[in-house]
Amino acid sequence: MFSAGSELPKVGIMASAQSPMSGDRRRAELREFLRSRRAGISPADVGIPDGGRRRTPGLRREEVAVLAGVGVSWYTWLEQGRDIKVSEQVLDALARVLSLDTAERAHLYRLAGLNPPQARSTPSVPASPEVQRLLDAWSPRPGYIRDRHWNFTAINDAARVVFGYGETDHNCLVSFFTNVRYRVLHRQWAETALDVAAGFRADAARYPDDPEFDRIATDLAAVSQEFAELWARHDVAEHTSAVKAVDHPEAGTLTFDATLLPLPEHPGHHLILHNPRPGTDTQERLEKLMRDRSLVVAHPG
């Protein structure tokens, strides 16, 4: 979910827009996934002496079962796609034996019919030099990075100029509901506010043991009646793209396609990039706006 006022696609307020995979298909996918990962682990990888040539590459089923501490028959049934119950402890053991990375482990959980473990909270970190260079190179198009609490960790100059961010703006959610200039610039602010609050609640649910989300929401509700009313609705929504439109006092109407990109090395951190929407004159207006601002900075007064 994005923080700037925008013309968002009309979507239902829901926790997930995808239909769950059918049980038969899920178990078939699980079967093939386990087989493929088992084939990719050699006996030497797990400290098993290689007893000569094998008919198929990788570990045998009974070897996986023993290493994971489960019954051979049970593991065989699991890999055959039978409808049996599994526990988180068993899945974690299998993930360890099969050397699954974080994404593969989450995939294993979903195929087994369980919710993946909650992502571990990581502290807010400044943008890496590589990402900072990307933000700088993205100019004159707006871009910024926010952490899991929607705090800004980096903003390029174009985002400040286009969206009205000032030096006191440190959090996307708080700025949306308290920055008057920010609010005036953006079209359909009232309609977008519902999605903004719902997006923050959806992100908070990813980290149920993190009290910072409640602190931010409580403090904001104390100074924004509009946010307090929306927060009390308990709506949730998730968006990875949006159309943002602003009525800029110097450049006129600017319309952007906005995309939210996760930064895997820092769970919860996202890079949000804005691209002038095709079929509009936003690119030309934006370039002139930033060029004029550069001249003012270079020749003040």
pLDDT > 70 fraction of the chain, expressed in percent and rounded = 87
Which of 46-55, 129-138, 214-223 has the least mean pLDDT? 46-55
Determine the pLDDT at residue 9: 34
- CB neighbour burial string for 197-215, b if at least 16 within 10 angstroms, e if fewer: bbbbbbbbeebeebeebee
pLDDT averaged over the chain? 85
Q: Let me know: does 198 contact 176? Beta carbons within 8 Å.
A: no
**Per-residue pLDDT tens for 213-243?**
999 999 999 999 999 999 999 998 887 888 8
Distance CA 144, CA 50 (A): 52
If asked whether residues 93 and 207 sit together in one domain, one would say no
Amino acid at 82: R
CA distance linking residue 284 with residue 290, whole number of Å? 10
Q: Does residue 211 sit within a domain?
A: yes
Reported as a pLDDT band with limits 50, 70 and 90, residue 52 is low
Give the span between the Cα atoms of 106 and 117, in whole angstroms.
Answer: 7
Tell me, yes or no, whether 70 and 137 share the same domain. no
Q: Average pLDDT of 97-125?
A: 80
User: Is 57 part of any domain?
Assistant: yes
Q: What pLDDT is recorded for position 117? A: 75
Domain count, the chain: 2
User: Is it the case that residue 171 has pLDDT exceeding 70?
Assistant: yes
pLDDT for 145: 95
Confidence grade of residue 300 (pLDDT, cut at 50, 70, 90):
low
Task: Please determine, for residue 6, whether its predicted confidence score (pLDDT) is greater than 60.
Answer: no
DSSP letters spanning 126-155: PPPHHHHHHHHHHTTS-EEEE-TT-BEEEE
Residue 18 belongs to some domain of the structure = no
Same domain, 133 and 85: no
Q: Kindly report the number of other CB atoms within 10 A of residue 60's CB atom.
A: 15
272 domain-assigned: yes
CA-angle at 211, arms to 210 and 216, nearest 5°: 120
What band does 259 get if pLDDT is binned at 50, 70 and 90?
very high
Residues in the chain: 301
Is the residue at 64 inside a domain?
yes
- Is 121 contained in some domain? no
10: confidence class by pLDDT, cuts 50, 70, 90 = very low
- The answer on 278 and 200 residing in a single domain is yes
Claim to verify: residue 280 and residue 251 sit in the same structural domain: yes
Q: What CATH number has the domain bearing residue 54?
A: 1.10.260.40
* 249 within domain boundaries: yes
Write out the residue range of the structural domain in which residue 75 sits: 23-111
pLDDT at 196: 93
Per-residue pLDDT, 13: 29
140/272 same-domain check: yes
Both tokens of 190, joined, read 């009232």
Whole-prediction pTM value? 0.64
Consecutive H or E run containing 283: helix 282-298
Helical (H) or strand (E) element with 86: none
CA 28 to chain centre: 28
Between CA 261 and CA 147 the distance in angstroms is 12
Instruction: Give the pLDDT of residue 85.
Output: 87
**Separation CA 17–CA 219 (nearest Å):** 30
- CATH number, domain of 187, equals 3.30.450.180
Identify whether residues 143 and 93 lie together within a single domain: no
- Give the residue from 65, 81, 111 where a domain finishes: 111
Same structural domain, 85 and 146? no
Instruction: Give the lowest-confidence range in 79-88, 113-122, 168-177, 182-191.
Output: 113-122
Residue 266 lies in a domain: yes
Residues 39 and 170 in one domain: no
Mean pLDDT, range 257-282, rounded to an integer: 92
Give dist(CA 239, CA 119) in Å, integer: 18
Shared domain check, 37 and 159 = no
Query: What is the longest distance spanned by two Cα atoms in the chain?
Result: 82
Domain final residue, candidates 78, 111, 144: 111
Least confident of 121-125, 262-266, 291-295: 121-125
